[in-house]
Amino acid sequence: MNPLWHLTLARFREFYREPAALFWVYGFPLILAFVLGLAFSEKPVPASNVDVVLDLNLEVAESLRAKLANDPALKVAVNDEATCLKRLRTSKTDAIVVPRPGSTPDHEYLFDATRSESVLARNAADRALLRAASQAPAPIETPVTEPGGRYIDFLIPGLLGMNLLGGGLFGVGFAVGDMRVRKLLKRFQATPMRRTDFMLSLMLSRLVFTLIDIALLLGFAYLAFGVRVRGNPVVFAVLVATGGACFAGIGLLLGSRARTMETIAGLVNAVMLPMYVLSGVFFSASRFPEEMQWFVQALPLTALNDALRAVMNDGASWETLPYPMLILGLWGTISFALALRIFRWR
């Protein structure tokens, strides 16, 4: 009668007998991926809004307006200067073209350098006016959209990493805290089993649930958005398994001493939420200042997300494993060793 096998089997039975757990583990990630995929699906870039200041010299203003209107990427309006500035301040227009008769060049741009739409509008207006001045034929432009470069291709690996983190912290840390609150750990203490078997059973059961979750999410992403693994599938599976084991170890550490559900909830959120923000789930971790990068890159979720994107989108293979495996292995091994040392049944 192997204690590890029976403890793991008990975790399986406890899980599939709880409908709410099935929904949050398997249903909710699919709904989240579907909603975010729809929100950030590839759509044609809308035309940029550009205002031309109504100058005393109406001829110059009308000439600028006509040249800009020839570009289908621009939506042109003519207003007085005060209205144009107000529209720029309230983001109703992206850039302003101010006529400057008698000077070279005969116009000036006003735009917000902190807004990407404003910079793009200024560049589009400049391109339209330069083309009109040179009267050169427009070059052939062929839009190309390659799978792997879309936002949904960036998002899905982040959601996979997020599910692995959430499953480890909630599925293991919360489970231990709940059993302690319900006095189940006190009963387990009286049974002839080792502490190691109990902890490993929590991690193994969580890893199996997570692998099923990842398979469902990958299948949904492929059918709904055409997202697939372009690299070595074995490397991808190794990353997922290592990430799941690492986060289960961290969850076990968080739940090893917590005596109330409020405590374990606070600990889980204190670890999970910063990684959701810093580790590049919804946007690249490189957006944070250079001074923070040493810390951001040392987080296990950052290493996992970067490696998953390299395998899924760039077609990477075994060469991508050393650094993420080192980071995940250190976090997981140290967390499990500390949890084994400080764990209390009561």
- Kindly report, residue by residue over 213-243, the tens digit of the pLDDT: 888 888 888 888 888 888 888 999 999 989 9
Do residues 99 and 53 make contact, with C-beta atoms less than 8 angstroms apart?
yes
Which of 134, 164, 198 corresponds to the end of one domain? 134
Residue 8's identity, in one-letter code, is T
pLDDT at residue number 305: 92
Q: Is pLDDT at 25 greater than 70 in this prediction? A: no
Q: Is pLDDT at 259 greater than 60 in this prediction? A: yes
Q: What is the mean predicted confidence (pLDDT) over 115-129? A: 89
Point out which residues pair with 252 in neighbouring strands. none
Which of 105, 134, 163 corresponds to the end of one domain? 134
Q: Show the domain range for 256.
A: 3-40+150-342
Indicate if 28 and 83 belong to the same structural domain: no
Which of 100, 134, 168 corresponds to the end of one domain? 134
Rounded Cα distance between 23 and 212, Å, is 13
Q: In this structure, are strands 107-111 and 95-99 parallel, antiparallel, or unpaired?
A: antiparallel
Q: What is the mean predicted confidence (pLDDT) over 257-284? A: 85
DSSP state of 44: P
Q: Is pLDDT at 1 greater than 60 in this prediction? A: no
Structure tokens at 9: 């089997």
Residue 63's identity, in one-letter code, is S
Q: Using 50, 70 and 90 to split pLDDT, how confident is the model at 327?
A: very high
Q: Using 50, 70 and 90 to split pLDDT, how confident is the model at 174?
A: confident
pLDDT at residue number 94: 92
Highest mean pLDDT range out of 25-39, 136-150, 271-285? 271-285
Indicate if 108 and 200 belong to the same structural domain: no
pLDDT at residue number 298: 92
Helix (H) or strand (E) holding 53: strand 48-53
Helix (H) or strand (E) holding 21: helix 19-22
Indicate if 122 and 170 belong to the same structural domain: no
